[in-house]
Structure 1
Amino acid sequence: MPPIAAPPRACVFDAYGTLLDVHAAVARHAARLGAQAAAVSALWRAKQLEYSWILSAAGDYEDFAAVTDRALGVALAAHGIADAALRADLLAAYRRLDAFGDAAPALTALRRAGIATAILSNGEPAMLEEAVDAAGLAPLLDAVLSVHPLRRYKPHRSVYALATARFACQPHEIAFVSGNAWDAYGAARFGFRVHWLNRAPQPTEYWLDRVAAARIATLAELPTLLGT
């Protein structure tokens, strides 16, 4: 894909699964989970997202820390694990996830090029503050935006509008990066310049084939793609 002619005003990132490794919490306690570790982590993430979608569809809300706890409880129960201490340790680890190795260099390069950087996340404010501090990303971000004031989760349009309001610009002036295909689709429908971070890689889904969304395999590709 050729570079975009004009760099965006800001580059906005999803947090969980994009800048932060959502499977790092289980990885730290994998020995205690044994052979079930990967399955527990996958189900935990799947239920976390599913519950956020159901709440928004029903017009209800529970903050993301509570949703994360609820989802973990189901994931552990599904695998026959009843260990309160382990559950508490996993939740604590989730608040201090590892950043992906390409996160800090990409944020640094964008800011040096004069592009503002931000997070737009389902996480509630205290959860996000702890996460970005622990990952060492706080000094590299101009804003950390949470859905919490809206009491509504992605991919609702009002969530993406938080970014245009923060940077006082139009959707096409913002580059948006997410490792979640459903989030990339929602952001593209809103009008952002979307870059779907497909690390695995995974097949295209959530109607991403119908919208303008670039595919990238690493955040290292961003500075060139954004015309810096």
Structure 2
Amino acid sequence: MPLPPLLDRADAVVFDAYGTLLDVHSAVQRHAGAVGPEAQALSETWRQKQLEYSWVLALCGRYAPFWTLTERALDHALARHPRVDRAVRADLIAAYRALDAYPEVPATLEHLRRAGLKTAILSNGDPAMLDAAVTAADLGGRLDAVLSVEPAGTFKTAPAAYDLAPKALGVSRERIVFLSSNRWDIAGAAAYGFAPVWVNRTDQPDEYPDLAPVRVIRSLDGLLA
């Protein structure tokens, strides 16, 4: 299969991890019976607070491991949804270390590698968290690099976080296609100078018109179309 023009002009394809390669809601879905009728609401609160904590720390010039923020966010979500039995906390935390990859992820990564493109993750996740997730999803052999923002001491959308990818891969930013399911992340990548592709899995309305993606797709395999 020939590459589409966007990829033909690239040397590397870099992916956000959580929500893009890995289904952040699969942890709660795995234990939905124990969580009960508020499972979806709990999962959405957990994810929102996890991200919010990263943004607040970045704006304050502070940093904490993303795993710490993930645990804090779950505690907040459980407090917000008191009808959920807190005994499920340990199972949810364990499940978050081994999130499900979206079904099209392995084949997409393999196709990109066969085409001669470097593939990498650039994630807010800390190294231990990412190592566990990549191992559980069996993605390690399909990636040239798994990059945590930890060396930058900040989170996306700070330019210092995005700067890790071209340095690690030895590729100029203009030759990197960056994919994320998070529209705010796409805005940051556009501002930085990547060619950003928004993986809009849930048909969300667009935002940040001055920091637009170069393409919008519904799932990763749309990148190859």
TM range (shorter): over 0.9
Cα contact 2:159–2:188 (8 A) shared by 1: yes
Task: State the secondary structure of the residue aligned to 1:195.
Answer: strand
Task: State the secondary structure of the residue aligned to 1:4.
Answer: helix
TM superposition score normalised by structure 2: 0.94
Task: State the secondary structure of the residue aligned to 2:152.
Answer: coil
Cα contact 2:105–2:220 (8 A) shared by 1: yes
TM superposition score normalised by structure 1: 0.93
Distance 1:208 1:199 in 2: 19
Counterpart of 1:117 in structure 2 is 119
The alpha-carbon deviation at position 110 of structure 1 amounts to 0.3
* % same residue: 51
Q: Given residue 218 of structure 2, which amino acid in structure 1 is its aligned partner?
A: A
Cα contact 1:27–1:37 (8 A) shared by 2: yes
Counterpart of 1:68 in structure 2 is 70
Give CA deviations for 1:172-207 in whole Å, capped at 9, x if unaligned: 1000000000001100110101100001111001x1
Which residue, 163, 172, 191 being the options, matches 1:170? 172
Q: 1:171 to 1:20 in 2, by over 3 A?
A: same
Give CA deviations for 1:124-167 in whole Å, capped at 9, x if unaligned: 00100010110111110000000111220000001111001012
Cα contact 2:38–2:84 (8 A) shared by 1: no
State how many pairs are aligned: 222
1:165-204 alignment runs, 5 A limit: 165-204=167-206
Task: State the secondary structure of the residue aligned to 2:35.
Answer: helix
Cα contact 2:200–2:217 (8 A) shared by 1: yes
Counterpart of 1:222 in structure 2 is 223
State yes or no: 1:141 paired with 2:162: no
The alpha-carbon deviation at position 218 of structure 1 amounts to 1.4
Distance 1:79 1:220 in 2: 36
Give CA deviations for 1:28-79 in whole Å, capped at 9, x if unaligned: 1101111100000000000000000000001111100000000000000111
Counterpart of 1:152 in structure 2 is 154
In structure 2, stretches of 5+ residues that fail to align are: none
Runs of 4 or more above 4 Å deviation? 81-84
Cα contact 2:186–2:213 (8 A) shared by 1: no
Cα contact 1:184–1:208 (8 A) shared by 2: no
Deviates more, 1:161-170 or 1:115-124: 161-170
State yes or no: 1:9 paired with 2:24: no
In structure 1, stretches of 5+ residues that fail to align are: none
Cα contact 1:197–1:218 (8 A) shared by 2: yes
C-alpha RMSD over aligned residues: 1.4
The alpha-carbon deviation at position 99 of structure 1 amounts to 0.1
Q: Given residue 88 of structure 1, which amino acid in structure 2 is its aligned partner?
A: A
The alpha-carbon deviation at position 222 of structure 1 amounts to 1.5
Deviates more, 1:84-93 or 1:178-187: 84-93
Give CA deviations for 1:70-99 in whole Å, capped at 9, x if unaligned: 000000011115745311110110000000
The alpha-carbon deviation at position 11 of structure 1 amounts to 0.2
